[in-house]
Amino acid sequence: MTSLHWRIIALLAWLTFFFNIERFTTFGQDAIQLNAGVYIIGAVAALLPMVPFAQHRSLLSLSVVVTLLYAVVVMLSPTPVLGGTFTYITFSSYILVIMTLIFSYRVGQATLEFRKAIETVTFSDANGRLRDLHEMQSLVDTEMVRSRRFERPLSLVMLQADASSLNMTMHKLVQEVQRSMMQRYVLSTMARVLSRCLRRNDLVIEDKKPGRLLLLAPETNEYDAMKMGNRISRLVQDRLGISAHFSIAAFPQHALTFEELLHVAEQRLQADPSVANDQELDGEILELSTRAKVTHD
């Protein structure tokens, strides 16, 4: 918001200067006399980066469009383009138009980022994968019953995002509100990224504690859940730049009910999960390699 605020101020100050440049005089004579078409192109340069379809274009592509329009206006102008003072005016007016485009482009990109953030926070369940625990309770119970009846593995992955890794600066008066919004933003963004790489039968659940996701993975044993947690944490770090910790609890090795799985995962997450997970994964790999060697022998 602060960046957007100052970019708008800079754009307004520049537009004030641009559209009043002929008011500046030198020794009682006009310093610059721009063609009327230049002001039209200047208005286009100020408005174009604000149009939704143009906000996704690069600054270079918009510059090409504005340059072509400027060239057409200059060629249609009755006044000479080059020669003496006219050369100075032609290049000066072009620089003014490009500067207007740059200032407007920065504001357009800031508003685009702000709108995306609001949409992510407000419409976090656009893909239908993220639900709270109360809504998903029946599906959770169904998967638990199925795993018990058919003696199939099931794992719970608890993912805790670190909102402070975004280095967000908060004012004292709105600290709690901003913290809550940031946690919600991190949560919804993680859910949106994860929904693209998870299986259809995996359940993504919003935990009661802020910034925490639960992933219930049927037909997934403890070792595969550990690999899944490592892959998810790396994915969140690479795509979102957010550090995240995870822990797992497997049925029936660690617990026999969903509530007990939550309790085990909670305890593991609080006990320095980044170190514990690496050690447990190394232990699982070593154990599997030992078993494979014994079987081979």
Q: Are residues 86 and 13 in the same domain?
A: yes
How far apart, in Å, are the Cα atoms of 73 and each of 4, 31, 32, 61, 92?
A: 32, 21, 18, 19, 15
pLDDT at 216: 86
Q: Are residues 144 and 265 in the same domain?
A: yes
CA atoms of 41 and 39, how far apart (whole Å): 5
Q: Are residues 164 and 77 in the same domain?
A: no
Q: Are residues 50 and 152 in the same domain?
A: no
pLDDT at 160: 78
pTM of the model: 0.46
A 10 A CB-CB count for 36 gives: 8
Q: Are residues 154 and 112 in the same domain?
A: no
Q: Are residues 160 and 94 in the same domain?
A: no
Q: Are residues 253 and 147 in the same domain?
A: yes
Single out the residue in 82, 99, 122 at which a domain terminates. Answer: 122
CA atoms of 145 and 260, how far apart (whole Å): 14
pLDDT at 126: 45
Q: Residue 148 maps to which CATH number?
A: 3.30.70.270
Q: Are residues 9 and 139 in the same domain?
A: no
Spans of the chain, pLDDT less than 50: 27, 126, 167-174, 273, 275-297
Could you give the number of structural domains in the chain? 2
- Show the domain range for 143: 131-296
pLDDT at 56: 82
Q: Are residues 157 and 279 in the same domain?
A: yes
- Name residues whose C-beta falls within 8 Å of residue 3's C-beta, 6 or more positions apart in sequence: 110
- Of 234, 244, 224, which Cα lies nearest the Cα of 160? 244
pLDDT at 103: 93
Single out the residue in 104, 122, 140 at which a domain terminates. Answer: 122
pLDDT at 100: 93
Q: Are residues 110 and 139 in the same domain?
A: no
Single out the residue in 68, 94, 122 at which a domain terminates. Answer: 122
pLDDT at 98: 92
Q: Are residues 143 and 183 in the same domain?
A: yes
Q: Are residues 34 and 165 in the same domain?
A: no
